[in-house]
Each structure stands twice: as C-alpha cells, then as structure tokens.
Structure 1
Amino acid sequence: MSKAGSALKQVLESHSITQYQLSAIMGVNRSNFSRWLRGERDPLAEVVVEIYKALKSINPKAASEFVRLYLGIGADEEI
C-alpha cells in the first residue's frame, strides 16, 4: 500500500470519516479516492496538500495525524 493511502486509511478509520465525506469536500471522484486507499495509485503531492486541507475542514486533529503518519513523524515530535 502507498504511504499516503495507508496514512489516509488509518486516519479515516480512527476519526470516523468516510471516503464519501472527504471525496465530496475535495471534489474528487470516489473511484480515484478508493484507488488511493487500496494503494493502487499514489496521489500527487498537490493532492496530498488538498487531502490535508479537506481533513482540516472536517477535523483538525485528523489532518495533523495524517501529516504525522505520511511523514513518519512520531506523536511526540513537532511538525
């Protein structure tokens, strides 16, 4: 699985956010979104930023967790 997909899947599950919610906010086709989660495709760097912004609009803690997981930063480290 891709690093972004893995981080995103974990954040969605731990914060009870659905793919539908996030894809709707981002204006992204759910099939593309689903491919990221399954690791079939990696989102472009610009899209990773859009994922962060969309998560932040739903739940700022989820957005921070996504960045930490994606970058491999421990919970005790600052971003």
Structure 2
Amino acid sequence: MGKAGTVLKQVLDTYRISQNKLAVAMGIGRSSINRWVNENRDPSGDAILQIRKGLNKINSAAAEEFIRLYLDESEEDELVDQE
C-alpha cells in the first residue's frame, strides 16, 4: 500500500488526534480512517485533500505536517539512489 496511511497514522499519533475525531471533522465513517491507517486501502487523491481539510479543522499544524510528510520524496530518492 501507499505512503498516505503511514503518514496519517504518524500525524494522528504525534498530535494525539483520534481516528474518530478526524472522521467527524471529515464527515465520514471511522472505518474509512481505520482502513487508511492500517494500510488496508489507500485514500484517493480527493480523500488526501479531505484529510488535510479535516486535520486543519482540528489542528492546522497537523494538516501542514501531513502534507509535508506525504509530499516528502527524500525516502523515495534514497531508494532510487541505492539501485
């Protein structure tokens, strides 16, 4: 699975935001958040934007961190360099 779930889990843990709180802020079921965090399913591009908006309602720093980590390509660059 993709990077979004891992990054989302890290941000939720760091900022102590529950999956339920984010789900309420996004207006979706907690099961969707749970699937993303446990990497059972990747969020769509539209969902990434909704995650950012939901996090922003709760904590703007968490929203910024989510996007920063999600867009950070340094890990991917390291993998390419090793090949």
TM range (shorter): 0.7 to 0.9
Asked if 1:46 corresponds to 2:46, the answer is yes
State, as a whole percentage, how many aligned pairs show the same letter: 46
- Could you tell me which amino acid in structure 1 is paired with residue 17 of structure 2? I
**Given the two structures, how large is their TM-score scaled by the length of structure 2?**
0.83
Larger relative helix fraction: 2
Unaligned runs of 5+ in 1: 75-79
The ranges of structure 1 where at least 4 consecutive aligned residues each deviate by more than 6 angstroms after the TM superposition are none
> Rg larger in 1 or in 2?
2
CA RMSD of aligned residues (A): 1.4
For the pair 1:6 / 2:6, whether they are aligned, the reply is yes
Amino acid of the structure 1 residue aligned with 2:23:
S
Tell me if the contact between 1:5 and 1:36 (Cα under 8 Å) persists in the aligned partners.
yes
Matched AA of 1:12: L
> What corresponds to 1:26 in structure 2?
26
Equivalents in 2 of 1:57, 1:28: separation in Å? Answer: 14
